[in-house]
Structure formats: structure tokens, C-alpha cells
Amino acid sequence: MDALTCKLRKAKEAIEAAERIKIITHHDCDGLACASILSKLLTRREKDFEMEVVKHITPGMRFDGDFDLFIFTDLGSGNLDVIPKSSIVLDHHEISGNSDCLHINPREYGMELSASVLVYLLARSFGFKDLSVPAVIGSVGDLIEPPENVVTDALQFGLEARNDLSIYGSDRPVHMALVYSFTPVIPGITGSESAAVEFLSKLGIKLKENGRWRKYSELTPDERRRLADGLVKELIASGMDPNEAFARKFFVFGRDVREISTFVNACGRLGEYDKGIKGCEGFYDENLLKRYRKKLSACLDAVRSGKVMIERRKHSYIFGGSVIPDTFLGITVSLSMKSLGIGSSVVGFCESDGWIKVSVRTTRNRRVGQLIGKICRSLNGLGGGHEFSGGGIIPLGSEREFIRSFETQDL
């Protein structure tokens, strides 16, 4: 038996033996998918449990109460020092610190798995293969390709997989799907409504029907083919890989899984955790998404209009203050970096419950999560992340010190 399976078996035994369990999970799509899977698992095993969704673990956070087992999902690996012994950590972020807990992280085995897939592998050992569906949603939310055996399980429970154009948003007008296409970025078209309209018109694709904007899902097969050809030519002309126009897409509950993961992430950022968890089980709410998009565009406008300060040095820094809500900082940094062209490594700061939240995005793989963790800890904060993104919290007023350390880094 391999080491990961062995640890998952130990986790299963610990759950079987526990009386009262507390789940602590991350507020993003992957974390909420973990919550969906784990709460079903524990309910089916008739376990008494409580759940808490958190934005991050803060220094000095204490985990006690009347529980004999804590389960941390999609967080914990970067903060092992604060994890009690009687815990299972199922996480895939960079590892830092030490704990006597049962720590399960696929990085230790050179694997890249989302936390929800990890939690699903545990659920699978209990025989609950239907819980593979939220695992695929969580994986897609973290932009990690779900493993083939998990996809195979999910295909038996309503998931569909097919190759299709990678532009997405079957719920938005087709020209807007092009405007918002970031994977791939279509040079000259992404970000420009007029260019997208012109591009489609040239391909002979009608934008409106009966006075309504047409959605991608409403195009005829012939129009889709023309659009695919057009995109391939466009990418080749800009020296890009034309295969990027296509992607393996997953569908479930009548929707593209990327749309579901966007919805679940939106729920998390708005603090609507119950809805986010239900979102992994088929719930969807158009109005909540509208509310989310409005808030997000207010953040992007604040950056664009100079309402929040941007400092360009070796790397770029966005000072969100109290204008950018902490749950919107990461996405604001990501999108600003892509649309404003403010360098290949961008750091955002904003206020967060008496701390300063830090969020970093880079286009270069430099294990930036580990680096951010190190800098945040040196400032008496906490942090971590992945290869291309990282985040953390630092004490109020320590932004300058953070910048001093970060500027010495070659990213």
C-alpha cells in the first residue's frame, strides 16, 4: 500500500473512533467542496460534528472545545505549529511548521491534487463514490486537473466530460465570453468588446436574435465550427498554441463546472458559505452572482481609477486599504495584473479583521507561496500558497517592511 493510502486509512480509523468532530475549512471553492463531501460523509456515518468556514488561520488562533477530533481541509499545512495533535489535516498548500497531527498533503508524494480530491479519496475509502462530483468541482475551482480515476467515478454520478472551445460562460452573450476569455487570452480581443463584435461579424456569426444577445450555447454547430476555426487562426497569427482554444470541459447539474466553481467561489467571497456548499450539490443563484460581479467590478474600478494607490517598483504593489474587501483582494490582484499590465509580480494589501491581508500573484513559478509564508512569518504573521500565488496576513502597519523583503526577491 502506498504512503498516501496508508495515511488515508489512518484518517478513516480516526473518524470511526471519534465522537465529536470539528471541521475547519477554507472559504474558497475547493474548501467548500471539502465541506460538502465531509459533511455528507460524517452525516452518513452518524457522527456528531460542527463546521467552521474561515478565510485563513491567524496567529494565536486556538482550537479547543468539546471535540475529540479536528479535521482541517484546504488549510493547515502552512500553519502546522497551531494545529492540535488530535487533528487530521487534508491540505495541498505549501508545508510549514510541525505538528504531531495526522498531516496528509499530496505534495509530500510529489503529487498535485486539490484538497477536495484528497477528501474525496477518504470518502471513497468509506464507499461513497457519489461524492466524486463535488471533488471535481473543487479541483476545477483551484485550476487543478482532477485525476482520471476521480473523473471516472464522477461520470457514474451525472458528470459529463467533453472537448470543447475553452471560452466559457454559456450564460453570457458570446461576444462577452470572448471579452472575458483569459485562458487563453486572445490578443486584441480579450478585454475589447468592439474587437469581439467585429471578430464575430467577420466570421458571419449573428450577435443578436429577436433583439436578444445570443449565448455560446445558442450557436448552431456550424457557427461553433466557424468560431473555432476563427479562434485557431487568431491564436496562430499571434504566435500562440492553437490547442489553447480547446479544453476538456466538465458539465454537471446542467452547467459547465467552471461556472459552478465561479459561483461557489463567489459565495465564499460574499460569506454565503451554506449556499456555496449547496452550490457543490446543484444549487445556483443568478442574483448572488450579480451581487458578486457588482462588488468585483467596484474593486477593479477602484484600481483602474486610482482610488487605491498603486506603486510600481521592481514588483508592483496595490494598496487596497479598506476599499478592497479582504475576500476580493486575490481576485482583484489577479485580474488587475492581467488587464492593467502592471508587471509580472503583483502584491495587494488590504485591511482584514485587525490585520493586513497580503495577496501575491506572479506569472513565474518560483514557489511564491513558500516565499510569502517566510516573509509573513518573519513579520509575525502567517502565510503560504502555491507556485504562482500566495497570501497571508501581517500585522497592521508592516506593509513597508514586507515590500522591503519582497523587493530583494528576483521573481
Is residue 91 within the footprint of Mn ion (CB under 5 A)?
no
C-alpha–C-alpha distance, residues 261 and 255, integer Å:
10
Rounded CA separation 347/398 (Å):
14
Using the structure block, give the residue that is written with the C-alpha cell 507561496. Answer: 369
Measured CA to CA, the distance from residue 345 to residue 154 in angstroms comes to 37
Q: How many CB atoms lie within 10 A of CB 173?
A: 21
- When asked if residue 272 is in the footprint of Mn ion (CB under 5 A), the reply is no
- Residue closer to Mn ion (CB basis): 37 or 200: 37
Contact 88, 34 (CB under 8 A): no
> Which of 102, 104, 115, 235 lies at the binding interface for Mn ion (CB under 5 A)?
115
Least distance (Å) from Mn ion to the CB of residue 121? 14
Q: Select the span of 68-76, 205-213, 262-270, 296-304 touching Mn ion (CB under 5 A).
A: 68-76
Q: Which three cell numbers stand for residue 17?
A: 473512533
Is residue 356 a contact residue for Mn ion (CB under 5 A)?
A: no
Cβ distance to Mn ion smaller for residue 30 or 256: 30
The secondary structure of residue 386, as a DSSP letter, is -
392 beta partners: 358, 383
For the CB of residue 36, give the shortest distance to Mn ion in the complex, in Å. 14
Q: Which stretch binds Mn ion (CB under 5 A): 62-70, 74-82, 170-178, 342-350?
A: 74-82
**Secondary element (H or E) of residue 311:** strand 309-312
* DSSP string covering 326-349: GGGHHHHHHHHHHHH---SEEEEE
Q: Which residue is nearest to Mn ion (CB)?
A: 30
Decide whether 74 or 223 has the Cβ nearer to Mn ion.
74
Report the nearest approach of Mn ion to the CB of residue 401 (Å). Answer: 28
Contact between 30 and Mn ion by CB under 5 A: the answer reads yes
By CB under 5 A, which span of 8-16, 22-30, 45-53, 172-180 interacts with Mn ion?
Answer: 22-30
Quick check: 74 binds Mn ion (CB under 5 A)? Answer: yes
Q: How far is the CB of 31 from Mn ion (least distance, A)?
A: 6
Any contact of residue 234 with Mn ion (CB under 5 A)? no
CB closer to Mn ion out of 142 and 272: 142
Cα–Cα distance, 365 to 369 (Å, whole number): 10
d(CA 387, CA 368) in angstroms, rounded, equals: 5
Q: Of 204, 177, 335, nearest to 265 (Cα)?
A: 335
CA 75, CA 92: separation in Å to the nearest integer? Answer: 8
142 binds Mn ion (CB under 5 A): yes
Near Mn ion by CB under 5 A, which window of 47-55, 65-73, 113-121, 321-329?
113-121
> By CB under 5 A, which span of 117-125, 137-145, 260-268, 270-278 interacts with Mn ion?
137-145
Q: Of the two residues 115 and 324, which places its CB atom closer to Mn ion in the complex?
A: 115
| Packing angle of the helix pair 29-44, 115-125 (nearest 10 deg) | 10
The residues binding Mn ion (CB under 5 A) are 30, 74, 115, 142
